[in-house]
Amino acid sequence: MASTNTTPSFTFVLFGATGDLSLRKVLPALYRAHRSDQLCDDGYIVAVARKSMDSADYHAWAREQVRPHLDMERIDEDDWERFLNRITYVALDLTRQDDFTQLRDALDGKPAARVFYLATGPALFEPVCKGLAAAGLHDGGRIVLEKPLGHDLRSSREINDTVGEIFSEQQIYRIDHYLGKEAVQNLQALRFGNALFEPLWRREWIENIQITIAEELGVEGRGDFYDQTGALRDMVQNHLLQLLAIVAMEPPHSMAADPVRDEKLRVLRSLKPIAIDEVNQLVVRGQYQSGLSGGASVPAYAREPGVAAESRTETFVALKAEINNWRWAGVPFFLRTGKRLAERVAEIVINFRPVPYALMGEASLRAGANRLVIRLQPNESMRLYCLAKQPGEGMQLQSVHLDLAFDQFFKAGSMDAYERLLLDVIHGRLALFVRRDEQEQAWRWVEPIMTGWADSARMPKLYSAGTWGPAASSALLAQHGTCWLEEEN
């Protein structure tokens, strides 16, 4: 029996259908939605790429390339074949407008509710949009744009202007997969659905907030791309600033798309600018050296394929941000991201202020005695730390915690972030996607950092692969009397 949550009829057109993003993320997410009966029977996938082959060849390619990125033990062979039967392959040169007539022919007779997913480089956004318009396919469609959308504010505006000539803002879905994570959604539920936390969610009760996205992996064969991008553009401008905005936003008047995005924009506009001459004091730029990662010896970033030998591209960023508004004035937000770090983890740490008086001993005054840790990956969870009396004589306090592990508490499995976001596109829900003014405000805030680095002759601070980054990252927090979570533990 089909789920009551199935999508309306749709045609999902996947550009770049043989690329890394498609095989690792998009197609597995669509299969999971199919497997859980989230996709209606009248839902079709049209895979578009340059490689010359037919649909049967593409199905064979998917069996070989996509299945390793799925939970193998949960694949039902008949179900997998039914999923592949949804897919039609079309070979196109995306730079040739005339070729889009072949796509129009392939879409003939399929549902007119169309999603165009651009799993391509930004250089192809313009020719794809113009090709769709020339073939008359854009009306009423929705277009999904993957990052990076430009390398600075100017290039971002150029891309948005180009796409905006063909598609209205309500048709454009700028995807940030961190916004689709279960724990991020639960952060909003925690704040706005419970009387316990919202009164505490302000400068009077919160000492500092830490947001970390750490990766064990290096550039993984993407040196040519990464050396032109770096951690600031790749992670801070989008993922980290979006998480900051969600943590710090005011309650919207509803959970509809624009009220939520309006509040995130207000946070981004309230970020205290980092002046160029403050960059070296407030921002740490690092680059990994050779070391042990995951028990194996790995090369330095500058020795990775595709990376310039004297590259100054950062693989690590830690910074202090402040929000100049009534709720958050004076509360430091510490953001951190990096490659080849000690473990793969993404988390938000809310450190509440200690009690004002040591009525029950010095432990109650310890920084971090009261803390909320929201884990986004690898396992989504929330953990609330507090102090409790140890059994026995005297008043000895000990840190204890209350856990909410989503996969253990809820019987239904957690939905993959890409699966949730792709279903939202098909349903036409914009709340979890980034609006143009949000994106451009984020670029506006990080540009002085980029300028400060470009104007400086300093090399990034080096750190060994498999560690938590350069020592300057710890020193940045020590200046404010605190430390990163793993250093305290």
For the chain, 489 residues long, give each residue's pLDDT as a single digit of tens.
344 579 999 999 999 999 999 999 999 999 999 999 999 999 999 999 999 999 999 999 999 999 888 876 678 889 999 999 999 999 999 999 999 999 999 999 999 999 999 999 888 999 999 999 999 999 999 999 988 788 999 999 999 999 999 999 999 999 999 999 888 888 888 889 888 888 999 999 999 999 999 999 999 888 998 999 999 999 999 999 999 999 999 999 998 999 999 999 999 999 999 999 999 999 999 999 999 988 899 999 999 999 999 999 999 999 999 999 999 999 999 999 999 999 999 999 999 998 776 656 666 556 667 899 999 888 888 888 888 877 877 777 777 878 877 667 666 666 889 999 999 999 999 999 999 999 999 999 999 999 999 988 889 999 999 999 999 999 999 999 999 999 986
- Specify the pLDDT at position 1: 36
* Closest-CA residue to 30 (of 386, 399, 375, 415): 415
Is 93 one of the annotated binding-site residues?
Answer: yes
Is 137 one of the annotated binding-site residues?
Answer: no
Is 272 one of the annotated binding-site residues?
Answer: no
How many whole angstroms separate alpha carbon 26 and alpha carbon 28?
6
- Specify the pLDDT at position 410: 67
Is 99 one of the annotated binding-site residues?
Answer: no
Structure tokens at 382: 């929330």
Beta bridge partners of 316: 286, 338
How many whole angstroms separate alpha carbon 168 and alpha carbon 138?
10
- Specify the pLDDT at position 2: 42
- pTM for the full model? 0.93
Q: Where are the domains of the chain?
A: 10-146, 179-412+451-488
Tokens 């009534």, residue located: 326
- Specify the pLDDT at position 411: 60
- Specify the pLDDT at position 488: 84
Tokens 């690590």, residue located: 316
Q: At what angle do helices 125-134 and 100-107 cross, to 10 degrees?
A: 60
Q: At what angle do helices 55-65 and 77-84 cross, to 10 degrees?
A: 140
How far are the Cα atoms of 71, 348, 385, 452 from residue 315, in angstroms, in the given order? 30, 20, 32, 17
Is 24 one of the annotated binding-site residues?
Answer: no
Answer for the pair 165, 143: CB distance below 8 angstroms, yes or no.
no
Structure tokens at 110: 């399929």
- Specify the pLDDT at position 164: 96
Is 50 one of the annotated binding-site residues?
Answer: yes
Domain at 179-412+451-488, CATH homologous superfamily: Dihydrodipicolinate Reductase; domain 2 (3.30.360.10)
Is 461 one of the annotated binding-site residues?
Answer: no
Tokens 């959970």, residue located: 255
How many whole angstroms separate alpha carbon 96 and alpha carbon 283?
44
Concerning whether 239 is annotated as a catalytic residue, the answer is yes
- Specify the pLDDT at position 380: 83
CATH class held by domain 10-146:
alpha beta
Q: Which residues contact 446 (CB under 8 A, 6 or more apart)?
A: 232, 233, 236, 237, 241
Exposed (0-12), middle (13-18) or buried (19+): which is 308, by Cβ within 10 Å?
A: exposed
Catalytic residue among 59, 239, 401, 480: 239
Is 69 one of the annotated binding-site residues?
Answer: no
Q: Which residues contact 24 (CB under 8 A, 6 or more apart)?
A: 69
Q: Which residues contact 48 (CB under 8 A, 6 or more apart)?
A: 13, 14, 15, 16, 17, 89, 90, 91, 92, 94, 103
How many whole angstroms separate alpha carbon 241 and alpha carbon 211?
9
